[in-house]
Amino acid sequence: MKNMGRKLVAAVCGAAFLAANMMPVMAANQEGEKNMAKKIVQTAGRDALGEFAPDFARYNDDILFGEVWSRNDILSLHDRSLITISALVASGIIDSSLKYHIQTAKANGVTQAEMVEAITQLGFYAGWPKAWAAFRMAKEVYEAGQTKG
């Protein structure tokens, strides 16, 4: 039952984030402005599981990324990245998939300051140890390529 409460809190936080961030998009679309969707091409599913689990690989590459992530004219890649990271951390998924999504978030324009703020917020709602684990990965990703001086 305790786990159910945490999932509910994570879902409510995600819904609040979506509501707050969709307002400008909805307003822009009502004014007749159209954002151009960027088609996402993913091959990780087929690369890792293509022969072993071909249907799952196809769902990952073609449906999740090819269709859902490609609806970025409605919800930006930046925001999708933050939502995905929030869901992974809240679910306790702090493995290589979280690192991949942090790298993707950085590529999608999520700044270090935004990532730090999001993970800090998650610490209070999803759990402090999960936030620590996420911070370790985020620090590694955002410091990659930076020179210490």
Q: Which residues contact 60 (CB under 8 A, 6 or more apart)?
A: 42, 44, 45, 49
Report the run of H or E that residue 99 belongs to, with start and end: helix 96-107
Q: Which two tokens stand for residue 38?
A: 């960027």
Asked if 104 contacts 81 with a C-beta cutoff of 8 angstroms, the reply is: yes
Residues of the chain with pLDDT > 90, as a percent, come to 66
CATH class as words, domain 2-34+77-143: mainly alpha
State the helix-helix crossing angle for 96-107 and 112-126, rounded to 10 degrees.
140
Confidence at 6, pLDDT banded by 50, 70, 90: low
Q: What is the pLDDT of residues 55-78, one digit of tens each?
A: 999 999 999 999 999 999 999 999
Q: For the chain, give every domain's residue range.
A: 2-34+77-143, 38-71
Terminal Cα-to-Cα distance of the chain (whole angstroms): 49
Neighbours of 129 (CB within 10 A): 11
* 145 φ/ψ angles, rounded to the nearest 5 degrees: 85, -10
Confidence at 18, pLDDT banded by 50, 70, 90: very low
Of 113, 117, 107, nearest to 80 (Cα)?
107
